[in-house]
């Protein structure tokens, strides 16, 4: 009696499974247990072989029919590793090719070699701007050190007049093959990193790196309404790519300095405006600073400390040009700390009048306290 597991059980399928289900299940298991992803792991290697053998039988109509009738005995000598030359492996060709490509990160070309194209690295720099510059936008020239294509070798990494040589380890194939059980496995050549070629005479300018470092000046446009900590992305302004690969991107981190008078919350700005006792009691008209100059504001009589007033559309421009936030004014009634003789006399007279209960808010407060302790 065979000690092999049931092929349907190996793939986690029912006996009525369609071919698409078999392929999907096999691909999942093969990706998980592939030897290139599990080097020197005998358990994973055994599971990979087991799944491949099961899929080879179940994807072949004739073999599957015999297996369903007679079990493993019906396909003995015809499944992979059983002396039949693994003839049914062609049924898995497309699947295995996809798996192998995924394991190499999708970097293989039709010739079996890995693609040499590499995207350049992303860069980041910080730009400090004032509160007003962030509110209204500004253009700023910044200096940036980045990698550019070597002008001497034009990115080939070879000395002028020379060219790469074929890799002697893989004979220019970019991959080396080894026998893995009943499979022939291909892996990236460790000598040329899958390029198929090696540089024997490096460029003296870049020393075979294909790129050199240069400091460049860039104009960065800070949009109106940007806030502290936000980033700008400048596509294609990062490091140069390799072998024709595109440049990376540049990310500009914006740092906004605090304002001496305004505070920001989203697109609204807040400020505190002091008024005297008499101004708060009698009402007054005063000038208040905004981002675009001063405006006149009427403080109504009887204004209490902490009262807020809103100036519509006097705040930060919204990103994209869709209107403005508001300016919120908080009134602070100042208590005088030094009084001249005449002021003391006036406040004393005021205190006498206050005893006649001309402050309704104070009267309500003390009435509540009185009721609380009854």
For the chain, which residues make up each domain, given as ranges?
7-103, 116-157+207-258, 263-369
- pLDDT for 187 beyond 60: yes
Radius of gyration of the chain (CA): 39
| pLDDT at residue 108 in the model | 42
Q: Which of 74-78, 124-128, 357-361 is most confident?
A: 124-128
Q: Do domains 7-103 and 116-157+207-258 have the same CATH topology?
A: no
Architecture (CATH level 2) of domain 116-157+207-258: Sandwich (2.60)
Question: Right CATH number for 7-103 from 2.40.50.140, 3.90.600.10, 3.40.50.2000, 1.10.287.110?
Answer: 1.10.287.110
Architecture (CATH level 2) of domain 263-369: Sandwich (2.60)
60/80 Cα distance (integer angstroms): 12
Instruction: Tell me whether strands 327-333 and 268-275 are parallel, antiparallel or unpaired.
Output: parallel
| pLDDT at residue 245 in the model | 87
> What tens digit of pLDDT does each residue of 354-374 get?
765 555 555 565 566 556 555
Query: Is residue 66 helix, strand or coil?
Result: helix
Q: How confident is the model at residue 124 (pLDDT cuts 50, 70, 90)?
A: very high
- Tell me the average pLDDT of the chain: 83
Q: Which of 40-54, 184-198, 230-244 is most confident?
A: 230-244
25 sits in which H/E element: helix 19-33
pLDDT above 70 as % of the chain: 82
Lowest-pLDDT choice from 96-105, 231-240, 274-283, 363-372:
96-105
Cβ atoms within 10 Å of 6's Cβ, excluding its own: 13
Rounded to 5 degrees, φ, ψ at 52 are -65, -45
Buried b (16+ CB within 10 A) or exposed e, 7-39: bbebbebeeeeeeeebbebbbebbeebbbeeee
Q: How confident is the model at residue 76 (pLDDT cuts 50, 70, 90)?
A: confident
106/276 Cα distance (integer angstroms): 73
> What tens digit of pLDDT does each residue of 330-343 get?
999 998 888 888 88
Q: 194 exposed, middle or buried (CB, 10 Å; 0-12, 13-18, 19+)?
A: buried
């Amino acid at each position: 009696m065979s000690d092999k597991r049931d092929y349907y059980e190996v793939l986690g399928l029912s006996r009525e499974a369609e071919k698409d289900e078999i392929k999907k299940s096999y691909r999942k298991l093969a990706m998980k247990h592939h030897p290139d992803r599990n080097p020197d792991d005998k358990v994973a290697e055994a599971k990979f072989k087991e799944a491949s053998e099961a899929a080879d039988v179940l994807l072949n109509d004739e073999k599957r029919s015999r297996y369903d009738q007679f079990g493993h005995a019906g396909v003995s000598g015809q499944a992979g590793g059983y002396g039949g030359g693994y003839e049914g492996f062609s049924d898995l060709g497309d699947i295995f090719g996809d798996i192998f490509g995924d394991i190499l990160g999708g970097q293989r070309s039709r010739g079996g070699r890995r693609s040499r194209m590499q995207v350049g690295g992303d860069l980041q720099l910080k730009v400090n701007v004032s509160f007003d510059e962030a509110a209204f936008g500004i253009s700023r020239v910044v200096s940036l050190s980045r990698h550019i294509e070597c002008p001497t070798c034009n990115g080939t990494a070879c000395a002028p007049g020379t060219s790469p040589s074929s890799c002697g380890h893989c004979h220019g194939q970019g991959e080396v093959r080894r026998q893995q059980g009943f499979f022939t496995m291909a892996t990236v050549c460790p000598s040329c990193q899958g390029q198929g070629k090696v540089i024997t005479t490096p460029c003296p300018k870049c020393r075979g790196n294909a790129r050199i470092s240069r400091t460049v000046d860039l104009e960065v446009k800070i949009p109106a309404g940007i806030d502290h900590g936000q980033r700008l992305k400048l596509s294609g302004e990062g490091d140069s790519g390799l072998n024709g690969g595109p440049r990376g991107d540049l990310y500009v981190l914006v740092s906004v300095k605090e304002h001496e008078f305004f505070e920001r919350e989203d697109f609204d700005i807040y400020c505190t405006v002091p008024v005297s006792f008499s101004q708060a009691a009698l009402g007054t008209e005063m000038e208040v600073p905004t981002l675009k100059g001063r405006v006149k504001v009427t403080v109504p009589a009887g204004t209490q400390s902490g009262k807020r007033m809103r100036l519509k559309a006097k705040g930060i421009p919204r990103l994209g040009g869709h209107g403005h936030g508001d300016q919120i004014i908080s009134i602070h009634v100042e208590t005088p700390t030094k009084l001249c003789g005449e002021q003391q006399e006036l406040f004393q007279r005021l205190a006498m009048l206050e005893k006649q209960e001309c402050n309704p808010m104070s009267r309500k407060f003390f009435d509540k306290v009185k009721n609380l302790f009854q």
